[in-house]
Structure 1
Amino acid sequence: MLWFCLREAPSPQVVISTTPKPLPHVKRLVERGRRPGSTVVLTTGRTEDNRANLSPAALAELDSEYGGTRLGRQELDGVLLEDVEGALWKQWMFEVEGFRIARTAVPPLDRLVVAVDPAVTTTDSADLTAFTVAGRSYPLEQMYGGDYLPALLTEVDPTVPCRVVHATRGKSARAAPVAMLYEQSRISHAGPPRTFAVLEEQMTTYVGASEAEEKSPDLLNSCVWALTDLFLDASAPGAPAGAQDRRLHGRR
Structure 2
Amino acid sequence: QLQFALRLGDNPRQVVTTTPQNVAVLKAILKNPSTVKTHAPTEANRAYLAASFLEEVQARFAGSSLGKQELEGLLLEDIEGALWRQSGFDALRLSAVPHLSRIVVAVDPPVTGHKGSDECGIVVVGAFTDGPPQDWRAVVLEDASVTGASPDEWARAAIAAMDRHKADRLVAEVNQGGDLVERMIRQIDPLVPYRAVRATRGKVVRAEPVSALYEQGRVSHLRGLDKLEAQMCLMTQMGYQGKGSPDRVDALVWALTDLVVEPSETHRRPQVRAL
User: Which TM-score band (shorter chain)?
Assistant: 0.5 to 0.7
Q: Is the 8 A contact 2:234 2:242 kept in 1?
A: no
Partner of 2:105: 114
Relative to structure 1, is the Cα distance of residues 131 and 32 closer, same or farther in structure 2, using a 3 angstrom cutoff?
A: closer
RMSD: 3.9
Relative to structure 1, is the Cα distance of residues 207 and 166 closer, same or farther in structure 2, using a 3 angstrom cutoff?
A: same
Superposed, 1:124-139 pairs within 5 Å as 124-139=115-130
Q: Is the 8 A contact 2:100 2:128 kept in 1?
A: yes
Distance 1:211 1:89 in 2: 12
Distance 2:76 2:241 in 1: 26
Q: 2:49 aligns with which of 54, 57, 62?
A: 54
Q: Is the 8 A contact 1:70 1:197 kept in 2?
A: no
Distance 2:113 2:129 in 1: 39
* 1:100 is the counterpart of 2:93: yes
Partner of 2:202: 170
Equivalent AA in structure 2 for residue 128 of structure 1: E
Equivalent AA in structure 1 for residue 177 of structure 2: G
* 1:183 is the counterpart of 2:212: no
Superposed, 1:1-252 pairs within 5 Å as 47=42, 51=46, 54-56=49-51, 58-59=53-54, 72-77=67-72, 81-96=76-91, 99-102=92-95, 105-139=96-130, 142-190=174-222, 192=223, 195-207=224-236, 214-234=243-263, 241-243=266-268
Q: Taking structure 2 as the reference length, what is the TM-score of the superposition?
A: 0.59
Higher strand share: 2
Relative to structure 1, is the Cα distance of residues 79 and 209 closer, same or farther in structure 2, using a 3 angstrom cutoff?
A: same
**1:160 Cα deviation from its structure 2 partner:** 1.9
The SS at the match of 1:133 is strand
Q: Which runs of 5+ in 1 are unaligned?
A: 1-18, 22-26, 36-44, 245-252
What do residues 119-150 of structure 1 show as CA deviations (whole Å, max 9, x unaligned)?
Answer: 11123321111111100124259511242232
**1:230 Cα deviation from its structure 2 partner:** 0.8
Equivalent AA in structure 1 for residue 233 of structure 2: T
**1:213 Cα deviation from its structure 2 partner:** 8.1
Q: Is the 8 A contact 2:64 2:90 kept in 1?
A: no
What do residues 163-217 of structure 1 show as CA deviations (whole Å, max 9, x unaligned)?
Answer: 1010011111111111111111111112x2xx21110110112236568985210
Q: Is the 8 A contact 1:171 1:208 kept in 2?
A: no
**1:69 Cα deviation from its structure 2 partner:** 8.7
Equivalent AA in structure 2 for residue 137 of structure 1: F
The SS at the match of 1:100 is coil
